[in-house]
Amino acid sequence: MRKVLLGLAVAVFLTGCNNSSDDDGPLASALVIAATDYAGANVVYGQSLSEKGNPIGKLRSRALGDDPKLDPRLPALANQGNDELVLIRREWGSAVNNGTLVWLDPTDRYSFDGSLSAASTSANPQDYLRVRTDKAYVSRFEPAYDDVLIIDPVSRKRIGRIDLSGLADNPDGLARPTIMALYNGLVYLLLQDIDLVFGTYGNGKVAVINPATDKVVDVIDLNRKNPVVILPSPERGSLLVACAGDWAAPATSGLEEIDPATGVSTLIVGGENAALAGYLGDLVAFNNGLALVLNNKADWSGSYIQPVDLDTGAAGASLYFSWYIADLARDRFGRAIIADNITSQALAIDPETGAVAFTLDLAVPPQSLLDWRERD
C-alpha cells in the first residue's frame, strides 16, 4: 500500500486510549506506522526523521485499544489535506464497531480530532481518498455495501455513495472495491471482482470515477486477478497495478501498466515468471524505471522484495527476505520502507542495493506504513 512518508510526527490520541510515549511538540518529519498483533495490541508509531532522512529523537507510540478485530490501517496514498491524517479502523468481524475513520490533529501532537463510522453494519472500509476540501471517498468492501461511500471530511458526515453494481463478472456480482488513486483529476478505484465465498475470482478491474459528478465514467479491464495496489507514475504518464492473484496459480498474479489515455492495461510481468514464481502483494516505483515488488512465493517459502525493470519486465534477485512482509512503501528520500511482521521491525533500504539505511524495533508487529507531508 504507494504510500508516502509523512511530514509531521505522530502522537496519536484515540478514544479510550491514553497510553503514549512522552515527547514535546510536533516534529519536523516522521514515518507513521499502524501496528497490530490481532490479539488485542493495536498501536500507532511515529518516528521523527531529519532532513536527510535519519531517525532522530524518540519513537513515539499511542495505544489504539484492545479490540483484536480493530485492524488499523493507513490510507494507501497520501492524497489527504494538508491539515489531516486519517486512520482507518477496518474492524471486520468486530463485535464493537462496523469500520471507523479516525481523524488525528497534526497541529496538536496528533490528538484525537473526531471519528465517523463507515456504516451502520460491518463495512470493512479499505481506503480513504480526499478528492477536494469538502469531499472524500471511502471504499467499502463488504457485500452489504460493495460501493464507495462519499463523506464530507470537514463536517465528518456521510453524504452519499457511488453504486458499483453491474461492474463485476463473478456469479454474485460483487465488485469488491479496495485501493484508490487520484490522477489527472480522476479517481482510479481497484475492483477485485470476487464472489461471496471467495471461491470465484474474475479478472481485476479499475473503475474510473469523475469526482465532479461522483459517477463511474469508465471501467478498465486488467489482465490478472485480485488487484491490491494502484500507483500513479506521472513520469511515465501511467498507472501501475499489482495483482495478487487468486492464490491457486501464479499465472493469475502480475504487474500491469495502465495507459489512462486509452484505458488499456498491459501486462509487464506475470507471477509465473521464473524469477518471481509467486504472488505480487505490493509495489513501489522510482523515476529510473525501477520498481520493487513484494513477492509472496508460490511455494510458501516466504516474502521477498524484488526489483523489476518496468520497461523490460525483467525481475532481479531478492533485496530482502522475511517469512511475512506486511507492507511496502516509498519515502521522499527515494528509499523503500518495509514492514517486517515477523521481526516486528520497520526498515528503510536502498532500492538498488538493498543496503539498510535504518531499522526501527517495534513492540507490536507493523501492518501499514505511510509518509504524510504537510502541503506548502
Could you read off the pLDDT of 214-230 as tens digits, one per residue?
999 999 999 999 999 99
Of 88, 80, 75, residue with least CA distance to 14: 88
CB-based contacts of 175-178 (< 8 A; 24+ apart in sequence): 175/146, 175/147, 175/205, 175/207, 176/141, 176/146, 177/126, 177/139, 177/140, 177/141, 177/146, 177/147, 177/148, 177/207, 178/126, 178/127, 178/139, 178/141, 178/227, 178/228
Please give the pLDDT value at position 376: 44
The CATH superfamily of 27-163 is: YVTN repeat-like/Quinoprotein amine dehydrogenase (2.130.10.10)
Distance CA 138, CA 373 (A): 21
Higher per-residue pLDDT: 62 or 157: 157
**SS3 sequence, the chain?**
CCCECECCCCCCCCCCCCCECCCCCCCCCEEEEEEECCCCCEEEEEEEECCCCCEEEEEEEEEEECCCCCCEECCCCCCCCCCCEEEEECCCCCCCCCCEEEEEEHHHCCEEEEEEECCCCCCCEEEEEEEECCEEEEEECCCCCCEEEEEECCCCEEEEEEECCCCCCCCCCCCCEEEEEEECCEEEEEECCECCCCCCECEEEEEEEECCCCEEEEEEEEEEECEEEEEEECCCCEEEEEECCCCCCHHHCEEEEEECCCCEEEEEEECCCCCCCEEEEEEEECCCCEEEEEEEECCCCCEEEEEEECCCCCECCCCEEECCEEEEEECCCCCEEEEECCCCEEEEECCCCCCEEEEEECCCCEEEEECCCCCC
Please give the pLDDT value at position 46: 85
Please give the pLDDT value at position 82: 52
Identity of the residue numbered 311? D
Average pLDDT, the chain: 89
Of 180, 100, 102, 182, residue with least CA distance to 148: 180
Range from 15-24, 82-91, 324-333, 344-353 carrying the lowest mean pLDDT: 15-24
The CA dihedral of 372, 216, 90, 105, to the nearest 10 degrees, is 30
Range from 2-16, 269-283, 312-326 carrying the lowest mean pLDDT: 2-16
Could you read off the pLDDT of 33-45 as tens digits, one per residue?
999 999 999 998 8
Of 260, 257, 259, 126, residue with least CA distance to 187: 260
Sign of CA dihedral 220, 215, 148, 330: positive
- How many CA atoms within 13 Å lie on the side-chain side of 316? 16
Please give the pLDDT value at position 28: 46
Could you read off the pLDDT of 73-130 as tens digits, one per residue?
999 875 444 557 899 999 988 888 899 999 876 556 666 788 999 999 999 999 999 9
Per-residue pLDDT, averaged over 266-291, amounts to 95
Per-residue pLDDT, averaged over 24-39, amounts to 76
- Percentage of the chain exceeding pLDDT 70: 88
pLDDT at 16 > cutoff 50: no
Burial class (CB in 10 A: 0-12, 13-18, 19+), 209: buried
Please give the pLDDT value at position 321: 98
Distance CA 271, CA 359 (A): 29
Of 323, 273, 327, 326, residue with least CA distance to 300: 323
pLDDT at 352 > cutoff 80: yes
pLDDT at 3 > cutoff 90: no
> What are the extents of the domains in the chain?
27-163, 165-318
pLDDT at 10 > cutoff 90: no
CATH of domain 165-318: 2.120.10.30
Distance CA 311, CA 343 (A): 34
Please give the pLDDT value at position 373: 62
Identity of the residue numbered 140? R
Distance CA 164, CA 216 (A): 8
In this prediction, residue 48 has a pLDDT band, given cuts at 50, 70 and 90, of confident
Cβ atoms of residues 139 and 178 within 8 Å: yes
Could you read off the pLDDT of 130-183 as tens digits, one per residue?
999 999 999 999 999 999 999 999 999 999 999 999 999 999 999 999 999 999
Burial class (CB in 10 A: 0-12, 13-18, 19+), 158: middle
Cβ atoms of residues 115 and 96 within 8 Å: no
Please give the pLDDT value at position 83: 55
Please give the pLDDT value at position 362: 98
